[in-house]
Amino acid sequence: MWQAWVNGLIGVYIFIVAFIGFGTTGNLWNDIIVGVVAAGVAFSMIKDKPWQGWLGAIVGIWLIIAAFIPSLLTFTGNEWNLIISGVLLMIAGFGALTGDKTTTTTTN
């Protein structure tokens, strides 16, 4: 399931960027928490459970909202980082809900 891997990699990326951005304390904790949640949920999404797709999409929506909270931003690049990461998380999260749900049947 490609959506799980995309969300997982974005979560890891957001976690790492928290330490590279050297932003405000609020931004640091926002990125750490969101990165861990996104990566953890995404890598468990591989087992094809729909709630992980919803949670991934909600985390993406939060990142987009967080991009417009002044106390979480220190520079313009951080704003675009949150918006782009949030959109990608939303796409992959909602995509996981409508992904391939093929079932195999066996005949005896």
DSSP state letter for 49: -
Backbone φ, ψ for residue 47 (5° rounding): -80, 5
Confidence of residue 103 (pLDDT cuts 50, 70, 90): very low
pLDDT of residue 90: 84
Q: How many Cβ atoms from other residues are within 10 Å of residue 12's Cβ?
A: 16
Does the predicted TM-score (pTM) go above 0.85?
A: no
